[in-house]
Structure 1
Amino acid sequence: MSDITQDFFREIGISKGMTVLDVGCGRGVTTEMLAEIVGSEGKVVGLDSNPRALNAALMQAKAKNLHHIEYLASDLMDVKLGDRKFDAIVGRRVLKYVSNPRQAIEQLANHLKPNGIMGFQEHDSTSVIDKENMPLHHEVNSWFWKLVESNGGNPTIGKEIWSIFNHDSISVRNIKPEAIVQTPENEVSLIPLLQNLSGLLVAKGIVTENELNAELIEKLESEKKQSNSIFIRELIFFVDAQKHGASRLA
């Protein structure tokens, strides 16, 4: 997943020497990715409202001697950046958790330099599942999106993507959907995601510990191999937008 995100950032024009704002940065995974792209000549500011995540990100950046990274605590709906301007503003899996994403993007656009770009990656619950041959995959996938909803997320943000990024000051250059396809033979699987999120699924009351057992993992693997079907659990929307007044890319 990191590879396609990094490729996207490069495709929209993020390069060495740029100043970039990473909103909803969490523990700094994308922030460090951006720091690698812009190099020591550039600057990356990671912004998040979770102090624990920011502290972990800051400690990691210091350990790696990434001195061109800065972290700030702020809510996306009330960003305090003064008169700071950036060459690019990006985010990954963040807008679906914002109460008014259109307003948030409009406010963020005020911190873009002339010709500045925005690049956001958002995940949507649009899926392709053969319910008859893959009923267990369908059920488990629904757990993940219930988890998103339980955290205040919008699982169907995809249908709003275009309107979120079209304002008086910015507009969409390109929207690219992408899907991760599971086949009976490839290594793509729900299982690692299920294992990573099992604690949260139980804590939110979406499933019980008894349901999350070794037998479930075995059944998922067996269903995958025997289904003779592809499975797509979500669509990923990559949004490339630019501040008005710049020459638009074809």
Structure 2
Amino acid sequence: MSHVASPALALPPAVAQAAPNPANGPSARFFAEIGLAPGMRVLDVGCGNGDLSRLVARLVGPDGEVIAIDRSPEAMAMGHTAEAGLQAAPIRYRQADLAGALPELGRFDAIVGRRVLMYLPAAAATLARLAALGKPGAILAFQEHGRAGLPAGLGPLTLHRRLYDWLWDTVAAEGGDPGLALRLVDLMRAAGHGIEVARSEGVLLQPGEPSFLATLAQAMLPRMIERGVTSADALGLDTLADRLREEHRAAAGTIVWDLAFLVSARIARDA
């Protein structure tokens, strides 16, 4: 992946198994509608544990191919143990750092990523390098998340908002760009790529359903402490889940926790 730390809003593989991240929910709808077709060769950028890679592999089928790249061999090791399905393309994992020279990967019919550009200090330059790996007219599609003044709900949500701010402050402190998602369409247009899909989906926390936030906070706590964003005492991890649950109960309704920005374009034919 990038030279910054692993995504703050994406759980480490072992943690994600215990607490599914609802921020991944929009992916199945988005990547199914961008034009991926059987037989395509696809590059998944910042693949992590391969969750998106497996989704894409099923979309392009056994005659396709998915090359999945990430900086972390530990994250990719999880992908090797998970099956994409009998009717899925083979997935080949390669270690690569977007901050450095990429290995020889060939050309692609589509280049995709989820929560990767937001962690880069020079996303426009990275997009240009990635576009050079696409065939003329190839698909370039990303699901990114942006800081958007959330969460929102019927109650004050003081604790939820404090945690939201801590998470995004950590992203910024690690060199990421919390506003990248809101500029992604402009970045792609400026590079000459034709926008085909541009929309947003709310990531919702429903009353009475298990919340993934305490698990996310536990995974993020060492990084929040390292960057001076908060302390273990301020977070109060031992009671965090109960306090979040009680605040949500008092709000008596759905909480809009996050926004997923979904942008797909066609690579300029002279890129």
Same structural fold, with TM-score higher than 0.5 when normalized by the shorter chain: yes
Find the aligned partners of 1:130 and 1:147 in 2 and give their Cα distance.
23
- Kindly state the Cα deviation for residue 151 of structure 1 after the two structures are TM-superposed: 3.1
- Kindly state the Cα deviation for residue 61 of structure 1 after the two structures are TM-superposed: 5.3
Residue 192, structure 1, aligned to residue 216, structure 2: no
Closer/same/farther in 2, CA of residues 157 and 137 from structure 1, 3 Å limit? same
Q: Equivalent residue for 1:207? A: 231
Residue type matched to 1:50 in 2? S
Matches within 5 A, 1:1-250: 1=22, 2-57=24-79, 59-60=80-81, 68-82=90-104, 84-126=106-148, 127-129=150-152, 133-182=156-205, 185=207, 187=209, 191-205=211-225, 206-208=230-232, 211-228=235-252, 230-245=254-269
Report the number of matched residues: 242
Cα deviation per residue 1:146-172 (whole Å; 9 max; x = unaligned)?
Answer: 232243222222332122212444232
* SS of residue in 1 equivalent to 2:247: helix
- Kindly state the Cα deviation for residue 199 of structure 1 after the two structures are TM-superposed: 3.9
Give yes or no for contact 2:204–2:258 (8 Å, CA) kept in 1. Answer: no
Unaligned runs of 5+ residues in structure 1 are none
- Structure-2-length-normalised TM-score: 0.78
Residue type matched to 1:232 in 2? V
- Kindly state the Cα deviation for residue 115 of structure 1 after the two structures are TM-superposed: 2.0
- Kindly state the Cα deviation for residue 92 of structure 1 after the two structures are TM-superposed: 0.2
Give yes or no for contact 1:125–1:233 (8 Å, CA) kept in 2. Answer: no
- RMSD over aligned CA atoms reads 2.8
Unaligned runs of 5+ residues in structure 2 are 1-21
Find the aligned partners of 1:63 and 1:156 in 2 and give their Cα distance.
33
Percent sequence identity over matched residues?
28
- Kindly state the Cα deviation for residue 16 of structure 1 after the two structures are TM-superposed: 1.6
Find the aligned partners of 1:155 and 1:212 in 2 and give their Cα distance.
25
- Structure-1-length-normalised TM-score: 0.84
* SS of residue in 1 equivalent to 2:212: helix
Closer/same/farther in 2, CA of residues 181 and 203 from structure 1, 3 Å limit? closer
Closer/same/farther in 2, CA of residues 90 and 199 from structure 1, 3 Å limit? closer
